[in-house]
Chain A
Amino acid sequence: EVQVLESGGGLVQPGGSLRLSCAASGFTFSSYAMTWVRQAPGKGLECISTITDSGGSTYYADSVKGRFTISRDNSKNTLYLQMNSLRADDTAVYYCAKDSSSGWRNFDYWGQGTLVTVSS
């Protein structure tokens, strides 16, 4: 059974840092691109960062570019998101999502999400 499980969320002050993790199981992690998607309270979905299967290429939304860093450890089947210089508008539920094998770049499995709250 495919599972992705996020952790690391919590309350952080503006300007602070947080590292999210996403543990994957039930599939060959090293064969799939992975993406972090966030959802601010009561709002829609935003893809903020993607990393290719090998980790050799990354993408960032303008809203997080220069502040967030995506990485992965294929030996540990784990995806990471290092978040620095956090702002109030980064408050959201953060989901990790697996690219499907269909080739159509959709997300076929999602974690349950981890809440990040940026507040003083």
Chain B
Amino acid sequence: DIQMTQSPSSLSASVGDRVTITCRASQTISIYLNWYQQKPGKAPKLLIYAASSLQSGVPSRFSGSGSGTDFTLTISSLQPEDFATYYCQQSFRSPRTFGQGTKVEIK
């Protein structure tokens, strides 16, 4: 299975901050990398697919980059509703594995 490793596991940030989360795959996955946001008690929500494509309806402050094994999710200006846990997922090969998650908390 392809292992996905996110860093950091958690971070504290303030409203308006620029936040960056990284995700590394254990082998090359081209751009088959997706990002999801999950709030407590809710299902995950797709934010970014194919490494950098913004899902319809997702605010433009979210962006993704990378290819091969190294990827980044950036929130350009953190908003109150962005405090959540973020997961990367590779969809290059089954099983479609997720990273362990990054919890973004209020500083």
Which residue in A46, A50, A59, A95 is a CB contact (below 8 Å) of B98? A46
Say whether A32 faces chain B, with CB atoms less than 8 Å apart. no
| Band of interface residues on B | 20 to 34
Closest Cβ of chain A to B45, distance in Å, is 8
Complexed CA–CA distance, A59 and B91 (Å): 14
Whether B55 contacts A108 by the Cβ 8 Å rule is yes
Contacts A100-B46, A100-B49, A112-B43 given: A44-B99 contact, CB under 8 Å? Answer: yes
- B34–A106 contact, CB under 8 A? yes
Nearest CB in chain B: distance from A72 CB, A: 18
A108 cross-chain contacts in B, Cβ below 8 A: 46, 55
Pairwise interchain contact A47-B95, C-beta atoms closer than 8 A: yes
Closest 6 A/B residue pairs (Cβ): A105-B91, A110-B43, A106-B34, A106-B49, A45-B98, A104-B50
